[in-house]
Structure 1
């Protein structure tokens, strides 16, 4: 559901207010086919940090307010929120970036044709590095290199923070959870993953730089290009 669709129609609460109580609580969502049940919903909110600040708030406060509203309306509800990241200056509507980041089917279908065109461009690409965030792959000298899920997430995390040194503690907190198969990480875990990532980057290994005593940083070279178009990776709130 797009933000424009929500804004141009009465709110859910307003629609319920115009229905008899028995009908409001017993009606079935038309989008749910027979034999299935609705288990929740997704609300795509398109707003960047500058717009939130201009309105006197921030994204964290907005997320918390929506979570609080859900808990007030349905105390047993469970919520999960993520913020969609995009490089500074990238074009497009905020809500479209969010829908693509969260793999919303209609948004993905709309961009399928442009993705095919970009793939054709990659086939004609010169030697160098293509970090394809939209497809979660890295292409070295026109050959796709084999990265593990965690190695790509590590590289992507640094790429989306280009030029900023990221500490090991931040990487652990952002990329590892208690349920990960490789167990509880420590700073040594980060160093091992970075070393493996660099070995797979080959002669381009220095795009991931070590800042001694601090952490790691992504430095873009002239022979490095990044594809952000389709699905920026969301960071968790």
Structure 2
């Protein structure tokens, strides 16, 4: 064999380096399949609902409003799916409702799973509280130590007004003007409202101090550990946007 042939033949070390450094053929991994959601038999999807938890104050802090956000979403949907139909509604809830905004929205708009969960929580509350007060805004009733209290319509309205403004002192004039229409024959004066409050407290029994007197001003609702408030499901407004 000639010297030229020997030089052209790669040494074992070179062959090894070439084998190590040679590109390894690869194949692209298959894209993961989208999970298939199980649907109840006999049903087909017709659209979707997007629950957004955001009040006007938080929207304003971000430099927008609910109307602006809805318009932006509608434009995006129109670009992506021109044949889509849209409907926007506002979730209304009592002032001071606690919890996460999005949970309040789901409940106010009667989202089935949120409503079902609330009903389960109400049953659990009843079982957990053999004693105490339950002010049920949604059903317009008061339970005291598990028994339904015989509140008149106006007595419940009075308690509800204070409950929905928890921790704030309400003046007598505000109670009268808010709970009685102008010209009502049975509308109390600033001092006779005290009579209605006394009757309310009498029916609350040993829990009467949840309605506190603020001398010279009016009344305030103070929640205790043994008081449960059920705010109800709320009522959605018509299409505002």
Give the superposition deviation at 1:184: 3.5
Change (3 A) 1:221 1:124: closer
Deviations 1:55-101 (A, max 9, x none): 77999xx9xxxxxxxxxxxxxxxxxxxx742425422439837x83x
Contact 1:86 1:232 in 2 (8 A): no
Structure 2 distance, partners of 1:139, 1:189, is 26
Q: Closer, same or farther in 2 for the Cα pair 1:195/1:87, shift >3 Å? A: same
CA contact (8 A) 2:103 2:114 kept: no
Residues of 1 paired with 2:158 and 2:223: CA distance? 15
- 1:50 maps to 57
Bigger Rg, which one: 2
Aligned to 1:185: 188
Q: CA deviation at 1:165?
A: 0.9
Contact 1:127–1:142 (Cα < 8 Å) also in 2: yes
Judged with a 3 Å threshold, the aligned counterparts in structure 2 of structure 1 residues 174 and 58 are, in CA distance, closer, same or farther, namely farther
Aligned CA distance change for structure 1 residues 128 and 94 (closer, same or farther; 3 Å): closer
Structure 2 distance, partners of 1:56, 1:185, is 45
Gaps in structure 2 of 5+ consecutive residues: 1-47, 68-91, 237-241
Q: Secondary structure at the match of 2:191?
A: helix
- The 3 A distance-change label for structure 1 pair 57 and 94 is farther
Are the equivalent residues in 1 in contact too, given 2:131–2:145 (CA < 8 A)?
A: yes
Q: Aligned-pair distance for 1:149?
A: 1.6
TM-aligned CA distance change 1:48 to 1:189, over 3 Å? farther
State the number of aligned residues: 164
**Structure 1: gaps of 5 or more residues:** 9-45, 63-82
Q: Which runs of 4+ in 1 moved over 6 A?
A: 55-59
Secondary structure of the residue aligned to 1:93 is helix
Match of 1:96 in 2: 105
- The correspondence of residues 1-237 of structure 1 with structure 2, limited to 5 A, is 48-51=55-58, 53-54=60-61, 84-87=93-96, 89-93=98-102, 96=105, 100=108, 107=110, 112-121=115-124, 122-178=126-182, 180=184, 182-228=185-231, 230-231=232-233
With normalisation by structure 1, the TM-score equals: 0.55
